[in-house]
């Protein structure tokens, strides 16, 4: 049996049981209310009123019974109408939910349920719509990811095909082709590694080895690693090295700084400057990476940490950006108990992140 008739007859049965209970109780209790009134009437009639006692009592009983019997059909009719309206409201909500579930299961994530009222059914509809919106966002991100990965792989694959054909035709130097092929393969390997890491980060499955880490050691390594690259690009790299410790994974902190510095270098023109530093703020250490690049447009700030999101997609691809570097930064910092953010205006951009401070000399 379908839901509507089941609910309808259940509600109707409850109503009928209630009506029968009202009738029985009225028949049993009513005499106690009108007998006192009959006694007073008999007294008021005097001696001649004694013979009327039974007739009056019977008349009151018949009147009460008739009134109840007359009211029963009216009550049943009102009950049927009310039951129908209530059941239709419930069943329609359930039907909408069923249709929405079927649409979601078939991949139609744009369907939304009507939200009316403040009861539990309306709350269920709102929660369903939130779920559908979240799934729609996930599906959109999945499609964007496939599109971006296909685009990022297409360029090196096209290059590899061109080099291979040139090598087969004998029109290109073997050593030159080998170095170019190695470069393109390295680019694809880096993309695959970034994709693998970002999936682990978002799933929270990255192995972390948290300990007390010297900030100075990390910043010195980063400075040495990027010094020649920045000199070749004509960008001034300034690293301020404080005597601080953080409770974090050393390799992951280094990776975060590498990603932020690589991003800063891509967006800072020749003659510009990039500054890196850290300072203690209460129980946190705040790291900053500032550059004098073109800045991030205000409309892009909110999405800068999203997967594959690029303010200038063509430029990022030309310069080797995978589009997930900042996503990895946010994920790793979250896993290590910190926060990450960005502030930008034309000519100045500052990426910052915090990590829990550790007391100097204390190993964990």
Question: Does position 353 have pLDDT exceeding 90, yes or no?
Answer: yes
- 86 and 63 within one domain: yes
Same domain, 7 and 101: yes
Among 28-37, 42-51, 242-251, 325-334, the minimum mean pLDDT is found in 42-51
Q: Pick 227 or 6 by higher pLDDT.
A: 227
Cα distance between residue 13 and residue 25, in whole Å: 18
Residue 95, both tokens: 């039907």
pLDDT digits (tens, 9 = 90+) for 93-146: 777 777 778 877 777 777 787 777 666 777 778 888 888 888 877 777 677 767
Q: What is the CATH number of the domain that holds 235?
A: 3.30.565.10
Can you read off the two tokens belonging to residue 32?
Answer: 């106690």
Strands (E), the chain: 211-214, 236-239, 245-248, 273-281, 284-291, 340-345, 348-356
- Alpha-carbon distance of 138 to 141, in angstroms, equals 5
In this structure, are 337 and 295 located in the same domain? yes
Same domain, 219 and 195: no
- Given a contact cutoff of 8 angstroms between Cβ atoms, the answer to whether 225 and 258 are in contact is yes
Mean pLDDT of 65-94: 72
Does residue 137 sit within a domain?
Answer: no
Residues 350 and 219 in one domain: yes
Question: What are the DSSP calls for 341-353, one per residue?
Answer: EEEEETTEEEEEE
Q: Are residues 233 and 330 in the same domain?
A: yes
Given a cut of 80, whether residue 278 has pLDDT beyond it is yes
pLDDT over 50 at 149, yes or no = yes
Is there a single domain that holds both residue 262 and residue 215? yes
Question: Regarding beta strands 273-281 and 284-291, do their DSSP bridges make them parallel or antiparallel, or are they unpaired?
Answer: antiparallel
- 114 in a domain, yes or no? no
pLDDT of amino acid 179: 82
pLDDT at 135: 80
- Does one domain contain both 320 and 246? yes
CA–CA dist 222, 34 (Å, integer): 99
The whole-angstrom separation of Cα 82 and Cα 104 is 33
CATH code of 187's domain: 1.10.287
Amino acid 261: pLDDT: 93
- Picking from 340, 338, 328, 330, the residue whose alpha carbon sits closest to that of residue 247 is 338
For 167-209, write each residue's pLDDT tens digit: 888 877 878 878 888 877 877 777 787 777 877 887 778 888 9
Alpha-carbon gap, residue 361 to 14, rounded angstroms: 75
What pLDDT does residue 39 have? 66
Which residue in the block uniquely carries the two structure tokens 């300034």? 238
Query: Has residue 17 been placed in a domain?
Result: yes
Higher pLDDT among residues 333 and 26, named by residue: 333
Whether 116 is in a domain gets the answer no
pLDDT tier at 276, thresholds 50, 70, 90: very high
Kindly state the average pLDDT of the residues 258-281: 92
- State yes or no: pLDDT of 57 exceeds 70: no
Distance (Å, whole) CA 1 – CA 8: 11
Higher confidence at residue 193 or residue 270? 270
Do 242 and 290 have their domain in common?
yes
What average pLDDT does this structure show over 272-289?
94
pLDDT of residue 351: 95
Beta strands (DSSP E) in 186-272 are 211-214, 236-239, 245-248
Residue 47 is given by DSSP the state: G
Q: Mean pLDDT in the chain?
A: 78
Predicted local distance difference test score (pLDDT) of residue 315? 45
Helices (H), 106-172: 120-169
Question: Tens digit of pLDDT for each residue in 2-42?
Answer: 655 666 666 667 777 777 777 777 666 666 666 666 666 66
Distance between CA atoms of 76 and 71, rounded to whole angstroms?
9
135 or 266: which leads in pLDDT: 266
Site of tokens 């009102």:
78
Domain limit, last residue, from 108, 135, 161? 108
Looking at the domain assignment, is residue 339 inside a domain?
A: yes
Same domain, 91 and 15: yes
Burial of 16 (0-12, 13-18, 19+ CB in 10 A): middle
Give the pLDDT band (50/70/90) at residue 364: very low
362 lies in some domain: no
Residue 128 domain-assigned (yes or no): no
Asked if residue 133 is part of any domain, the answer here is: no
247 with 335, same domain: the answer is yes
> Residue 260: is its pLDDT beyond 90?
yes
Q: Are residues 219 and 349 in the same domain?
A: yes
Lowest mean pLDDT among 3-12, 257-266, 335-344: 3-12
CA distance 287 to 276: 8
Residue 228 is part of which domain span? 211-356
How many domains, the chain?
A: 3
C-alpha gyration radius of the chain: 39
Q: Are 263 and 291 spatial neighbours (Cβ–Cβ below 8 Å)?
A: no
Quick one: pLDDT at residue 54? 66
Residue 229 host element (H or E): helix 215-233
Position 313 confidence tier, pLDDT thresholds 50, 70, 90: very low
């Amino acid at each position: 049996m379908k839901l509507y008739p089941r609910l309808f007859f259940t509600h109707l049965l409850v109503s009928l049981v209630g009506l029968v209970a009202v009738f029985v109780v009225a028949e049993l209790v009513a005499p106690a209310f009108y007998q006192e009134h009959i006694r007073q009437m008999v007294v008021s009639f005097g001696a001649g009123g004694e013979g009327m006692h039974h007739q009056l009592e019977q008349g009151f009983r018949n009147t009460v019974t008739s009134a109840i019997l007359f009211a029963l059909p009216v009550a049943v009719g009102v009950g049927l109408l009310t039951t129908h309206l209530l059941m239709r409201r419930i069943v329609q909500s359930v039907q909408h939910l069923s249709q929405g579930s079927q649409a979601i299961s078939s991949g139609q994530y744009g369907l939304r349920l009507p939200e009316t009222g403040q009861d539990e059914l309306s709350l269920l509809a709102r929660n369903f719509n939130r779920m559908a919106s979240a799934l729609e966002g996930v599906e959109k991100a999945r499609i964007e990811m496939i599109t971006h990965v296909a685009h990022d792989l297409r360029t090196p694959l096209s290059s590899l095909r061109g080099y291979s054909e040139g090598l087969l035709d004998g029109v290109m130097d073997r050593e030159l082709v080998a170095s170019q092929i190695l470069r393109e393969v390295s680019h694809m390997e880096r993309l695959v590694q970034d994709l693998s890491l970002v999936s682990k980060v978002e799933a929270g499955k990255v192995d972390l080895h948290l300990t007390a880490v010297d900030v100075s050691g990390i910043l010195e390594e980063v400075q040495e690693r990027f010094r020649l690259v920045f000199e070749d690009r004509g960008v001034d790299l300034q690293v301020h090295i404080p005597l601080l410790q953080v409770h974090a994974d050393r390799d992951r902190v280094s990776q975060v700084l590498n990603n932020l510095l690589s991003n800063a270098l891509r967006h800072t023109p020749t003659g510009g400057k990039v500054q890196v530093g850290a300072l203690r703020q209460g129980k946190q250490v705040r790291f900053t990476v500032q550059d004098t690049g073109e800045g991030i447009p205000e409309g892009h700030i909110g999405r800068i940490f999203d997967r594959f999101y690029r303010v200038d997609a063509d430029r990022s691809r030309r310069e080797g950006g995978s589009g997930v570097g900042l996503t990895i930064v946010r994920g790793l910092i979250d896993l290590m108990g910190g926060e990450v953010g960005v502030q930008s205006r034309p000519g100045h951009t500052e990426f910052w992140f915090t990590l829990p401070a550790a007391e100097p000399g204390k190993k964990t």
